[in-house]
């Protein structure tokens, strides 16, 4: 089946009209009086997080660690204040979310220390004693019988959003009429500018829609081990674990070109299969919203992300204990 080779600018105008509810606009790719290339569009969060890991120790730490049997946890101030707020009925909204995170982290830290044969003083008991006696944390911990106090500088889970200033990239590959991409393909600047403009315009509504969707989960623990006999900090641990969420707006666009024209097309095999299966399953408007997308990601529900955040925190806590024990 032959198709008229519209100039690229004309097809760009037609593609923009798809948001008004038009049906599939792109012709089926046919072999081969034309060549094909694919543009891989990627978008990333404006503040995409990176994994962080750091452990430092004093020379005396290994010898001291061998003598420690009793431990205490010193929670961050925001955990203590939020716990107090919760007790008097305050702390709605953001505080409740943070308190939930504090409670999970602290219980996990206590659990792994107990499993590792430590006797652990309650973090709330340490906080109460520190406040009532007006003494440093290591003194309060020593009064509770602890050999070491783990001063938690930071513990948190964070949900990184795509954001308004997301970062885009455009990679061009040689391809066939079925959309199978192979090697990277250098193309002329004018051609690249044209296809980039087309893809960016086509994706703009989706990137705007996904601005508030979580792209990464992070779990961060920053903790210092302090010898209660001397008050000396002898071991330092900091780790941020990152897990990407499967909602990145990575998309492939297939283009055909002849000597003079460039136009977007549907991959031959993809379009034929979709014609049989997806047409009945999706409305015409849904098809027009996705007619140039090969991949379609969905955000997981909030409760699933919360469970993933807990698993990430648990992994960081396990790593903390392994490093502390010398693993």
Q: Determine how many CB atoms are found less than 10 A away from the CB of residue 228.
A: 24
3-state secondary structure at position 176: coil
Contact 279, 266 (CB under 8 A): no
State the DSSP code for 164.
Answer: T
The CATH class that applies to domain 53-158+217-242+301-324 reads alpha beta
| Cβ burial, residue 79 (10 Å; 0-12/13-18/19+) | buried
pLDDT tens digits for range 36-85 = 999 999 888 877 889 999 999 999 999 999 999 999 999 998 886 654 44
3-state secondary structure at position 140: helix
Judge if pTM exceeds 0.75: no
Q: Which of 66, 80, 234, 56 is nearest to 149 (CA)?
A: 234
Residue ranges of domains in the chain: 53-158+217-242+301-324
Q: Which helix (H) or strand (E) holds 195?
A: helix 189-209
Under the banding of pLDDT at 50, 70 and 90, the label for residue 306 is confident
Q: Which helix (H) or strand (E) holds 220?
A: strand 214-227
Residue of higher predicted confidence among 185 and 18: 185
């Amino acid at each position: 089946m032959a198709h008229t080779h519209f100039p690229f600018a004309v097809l760009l105008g037609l593609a923009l009209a798809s948001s008004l509810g038009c049906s599939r606009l792109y012709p089926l790719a046919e072999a081969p009086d034309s060549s094909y290339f694919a543009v891989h569009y990627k978008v990333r969060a404006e503040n995409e997080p990176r994994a962080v890991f750091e452990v430092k120790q004093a020379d005396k730490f290994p010898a001291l660690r061998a003598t420690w049997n009793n431990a205490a946890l010193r929670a961050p101030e925001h955990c203590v204040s939020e716990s107090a707020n919760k007790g008097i009925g305050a702390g709605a909204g953001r505080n409740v979310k943070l308190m939930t995170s504090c409670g999970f982290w602290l219980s996990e830290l206590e659990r792994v220390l107990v499993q590792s044969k430590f006797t652990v003083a309650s973090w709330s008991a340490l906080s109460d004693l520190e406040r009532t006696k007006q003494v440093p944390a290591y003194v309060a911990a020593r009064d509770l019988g602890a050999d070491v106090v783990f001063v938690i500088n930071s513990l948190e889970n964070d949900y990184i959003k795509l954001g308004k200033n997301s970062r885009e990239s455009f990679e061009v590959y040689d391809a066939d009429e079925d959309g199978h991409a192979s090697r990277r393909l250098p193309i002329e600047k004018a051609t690249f500018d044209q296809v980039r403009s087309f893809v960016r315009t086509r994706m703009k509504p989706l990137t705007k829609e996904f601005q508030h969707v979580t792209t990464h989960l992070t779990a961060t623990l920053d903790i210092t081990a302090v010898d209660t006999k001397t008050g000396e900090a002898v071991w330092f641990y900091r780790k941020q674990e990152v897990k990407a969420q499967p909602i990145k707006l990575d998309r492939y666009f297939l283009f055909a070109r002849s000597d003079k024209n460039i136009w977007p097309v549907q991959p031959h095999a993809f379009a034929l299969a979709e014609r049989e299966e997806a047409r009945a399953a999706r409305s015409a408007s849904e098809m027009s919203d996705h007619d140039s997308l090969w991949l379609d990601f969905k955000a997981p529900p909030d409760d699933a992300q919360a469970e993933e955040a807990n698993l990430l925190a648990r992994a960081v806590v396990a790593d903390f204990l392994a490093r502390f024990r010398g693993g």
